Amino acid sequence: MNIFPIDWVRGQFPSLGRTINDRPVIYLDGPGGTQVPTQVITAVSDYYQTANSNLGGRFVTSEQTGAIVSDAREMLAGFLGANRPEEIVFGQNMTSLTFALSRALAQSWEPGAEVIVTSLDHDANVTTWRRAAVDRGAEVRTWDFRPETCTLELSDLEPLVNRRTVLIAVTLASNAVGSMVDVAAVTRLAQTVGAKVFVDAVHCAPHAAINVQTLDCDFLACSAYKFFGPHVGVLWGRHDLLTSVQPYKVRPAANEPPGSWETGTQSFESIAGAAAAVRYLASINERSTGVSDLKASMDSIMAYEQQLAERFLSGIKAIPGLRLFGPNSVRNRAPTFAIRLGRLTPEEIADRLGRHGIFVWHGHFYAVDLIHRLGLADRGGVVRLGFAHYNTLEEVDRTLRLLAEIAG
């Protein structure tokens, strides 16, 4: 078994050298945006210095920008398992891309059509579709999660699916509690009635390999700033759908995908950084085996993060008054944990941790329906701790010690 190269990994992230009160900062805020490696920083900086231009010009910097965008499509196609780079669409972020796609798909919905969303998802994958449905006279049905485990069970979806179902919008992993969803099973069910499946992969992307062929979905979106890159959104769609569906936008500069789906001038520096983020991830396996392999790297990240998760789950059992929301094992979950501690508010806990150099989030994180369904909407939500592959077991232990101290 290869040993995860954690020392090398941490050396790639300049921000990990930050200290508070002479102690290293522990970044557990990754679910809201991860830190970035030097390779990404260099790619963004180099773009501004050597290739800063818009597309379509008959001069070198414009041609360089075109080559950078093409390269990035290739890299992201590999990252998501796309059949061809033309299936990769760039945009401002996942939310903006999803809004645009929802308007495009909704043009074909008839009154009485049904859309299924979940109560586990980030609101970008809920209200987006609800508003599109209202505009077209379609109905929205909600696939509720089980509150005791914060998981979506396929048996609860089956009664909702029927011949009027046109789309199921579902997440790969909850951004609030870490629960993962068997999207391939969702897709198989959707296909029995001819419904399309849209997948929010934002939270899953830094933690596990994604393959749209295995998921067999129709569309999938993620954001590079959640997998160690800059702020840019990525949409994958089946080429036949990107070609046949009319984009909801001004008259396009391009008549074919992916350009026909991209609005305005893109953030080319961010696109360059997104490609660099994928290259960085692929290089992790090279440190252990000498071979650059993205899938192997992501598998090693998952295995390493499971060690972090096991340590955390084991440690919180000894902390009085600590309540965990979500799966209590490492199976079918991302290393993201939602907790409350005694009578303290999530903001108070986050403040205490932050003053000791442990960065976490508190609130609802736009998982609005989830927090409401847990009865925590008027109680400050939860504290969210998100481990990434640049975190260490020692950081887990330090976090557990401070939580125990706060509980005491």
Q: How far apart are CA 397 and CA 401, in angstroms?
A: 6
In terms of domains, do 150 and 244 share one?
A: yes
The answer on 309 and 236 residing in a single domain is: no
| Residue 288 in domain | no
Mean of pLDDT values over 54-62: 97
pLDDT band at 292; cut points 50, 70, 90: confident
Domain count for the chain: 2
CATH number at residue 72: 3.40.640.10
The answer to whether residues 51 and 32 belong to one domain is no
Q: Is there a single domain that holds both residue 105 and residue 135?
A: yes
Lowest mean pLDDT among 42-56, 72-86, 243-257: 243-257
Q: What is the pLDDT of residues 213-228, one digit of tens each?
A: 999 999 999 999 999 9
Q: What CA–CA distance (Å, rounded) separates 338 from 341?
A: 10
> Are residues 196 and 89 both part of a single domain?
yes
Question: How does residue 347 score in pLDDT terms, banded at 50, 70 and 90?
Answer: very high
My answer on whether 133 and 265 are in the same domain is yes
- pLDDT of 248 reads 85
Tell me: do 27 and 92 sit in the same domain: no
Averaged over 342-356, what is the pLDDT? 97
| 92 within domain boundaries | yes
Domain ranges, residue 141: 42-277
| 115 and 252 assigned to the same domain | yes
Q: Which of 215, 242, 277 is the last residue of a domain?
A: 277
Which CATH number goes with the domain that contains 388? Answer: 3.90.1150.10
Mean pLDDT of 17-34: 97
Residue 12 token pair? 């790639």
Longest dimension (CA), the chain: 67
Which residues have CB under 8 Å from 308's CB, separation 6+? Answer: 335, 387, 391, 392, 393, 396
> Is residue 166, in this structure, part of any structural domain at all?
yes
Q: Which tens digits make up the pLDDT trace of 98-113? A: 999 999 999 999 999 9
Res 290 pLDDT > 90: no
Evaluate whether residue 32 is within a structural domain.
yes
Q: How far apart are alpha carbons 392 and 388 in whole angstroms? A: 9
Tell me how long the chain is: 408
- Stretch 76-91: mean pLDDT: 98
| Residue 1 placed within a domain | no
Instruction: Confirm whether 287 is domain-assigned.
Output: no
Residue 30 has pLDDT above 70, yes or no: yes
Pairing of strands 382-386, 336-341: antiparallel
Q: Which two structure tokens, joined as six digits, stand for 85?
A: 């780079």
∠ Cα 26 32 37 (to 5°): 60
pLDDT tens per residue, range 130-173? 999 999 999 999 999 999 999 999 999 999 999 999 999 999 99
Answer whether 350's CB lies under 8 Å from 360's CB.
Answer: yes
**What is the separation, in whole angstroms, between the first and last Cα of the chain?**
40
| Residue 226 and residue 130 share a domain | yes
Give the tens place of pLDDT for each residue, 351-374.
999 999 999 999 999 999 999 999
Based on the fold, state whether residues 12 and 53 are members of the same structural domain: no
Find the DSSP H helices in 168-293: 183-191, 212-215, 239-244, 268-289
Q: Does 33 share its domain with 54?
A: no
Q: Say what percent of the chain tops pLDDT 90.
A: 95
The residue with tokens 């759908």 is 241
State the pLDDT confidence band at 1, using cuts at 50, 70 and 90: low
Contact 72, 309 (CB under 8 A): no
Domain assignment present for residue 52? The answer is yes
Domain boundary among 246, 277, 308: 277
pLDDT, one tens digit per residue, over 233-279 is 999 999 999 999 999 888 766 788 999 999 999 999 999 999 999 99
* Residue 167 shares a structural domain with residue 235: yes
Domain end position, chosen among 277, 303, 334: 277
Q: Is residue 289 part of a domain?
A: no
- How far CA 201 is from CA of 62, 72, 80, 196, in Å, comes to 31, 18, 10, 16
Burial 5-20 (b: 16+ CB within 10 A, else e): beeebbebbeebeeee
Q: What percent of the chain has pLDDT over 70?
A: 99
